Amino acid sequence: MQDTSPGPDLRKPTIPPIFLGIGSILWKLIDWAARIDFILSVQNQSFAVIFQSFATYGWLLIVVVCLLWWYQTQKQSGKVQGEYRVTWGLVISGALLSFLYGVLLTVYATGSVPNVILSYARTDAGCQAAVDTSRLTSFKNDFRLVIACGIGDPAIDQFEETNISISSPFTINPGGTIILAPYSSTMEATLKARGQNPTVLWFYAVLVPKDVDLSKISHLSEIQKQGGKIVAPGLF
């Protein structure tokens, strides 16, 4: 009896490459939208390298293979007569996509925002920090990187504190960078007034949109309102 059910016949030999190719493209789009490369834990270096390699080039290689596979099956399907059967190609395609999406979900669920500040120090000129920018490369087209620092005060909300210093914006390069945030006039005056008394400073790496005028920023909450991202667990 002829099959009259709606939709494509999943038993056709052209279905597996289409299924795998579209699935790989969607996987990459989800990876890009969720910025998995940023939240990916690097505790397991081997896993990180494998995942990053696939996210960069592997998905594209699979799509190319799928196009060649589809072209070959398209030529053969015209010669095949009779009823189609479920092939190993469809089984393997489904298994591979299930694995990839399972890995993506696991990373997204268990990953956390990495601490990109490698070291920091208070200097005579300002707040200085060494930043690992290799984890921030997916933001380079839309954001610039700045360092913000301020005087720790338990009586003042850190995000509304105006006694802060913010560096000039830096282009995000994969090689890492050292950034100095010169003291603002108010912060410098406060530090001088305290003299030798112990002063606790906080440091943040902050991603700011390219069109933000930092000269008009007086506290961290203003950066967030304008689309900035504080690169710290619980704040990003």
Token look-up 């913010």 returns 166
pTM here is 0.60
- Report the b/e string of 87-125 with b at 16+ CB within 10 A: eebbeebeeebeebeebbeebeeeeebbebbeebeeeee
Helix (H, G, I), strand (E, B) or coil at 235: coil
- Report the b/e string of 189-200 with b at 16+ CB within 10 A: ebbeeeeeeeee
Provide the token pair at 63.
Answer: 């799509």
Per-residue pLDDT of the chain (236 residues; tens, 9 = 90+): 445 555 555 566 777 777 788 888 887 777 776 666 666 554 555 566 667 667 777 778 888 888 888 887 777 665 555 555 556 777 778 777 777 777 777 666 666 677 888 899 888 888 999 998 887 887 888 899 999 998 888 888 888 888 889 999 999 888 788 999 999 888 888 888 877 666 788 999 999 998 888 888 888 888 888 888 888 876 76
Model confidence pLDDT, tens digit, residues 205-229: 999 998 888 888 888 888 888 888 8
* Whether the Cβ atoms of residue 229 and residue 207 lie closer than 8 Å to each other: yes
What gap in Å lies between CA 227 and CA 142, rounded to an integer?
A: 11
Model confidence pLDDT, tens digit, residues 154-165: 888 888 888 889
Instruction: With CA atoms as reference, report the closest residue to 114 among 130, 136, 95.
Output: 136
Instruction: With CA atoms as reference, report the closest residue to 135 among 155, 123, 117.
Output: 117
Cα dihedral angle (181, 187, 189, 190), rounded to 10 degrees? Answer: -140
Residue 143 CB neighbours (<10 A)? 21
Provide the token pair at 112.
Answer: 């956390």
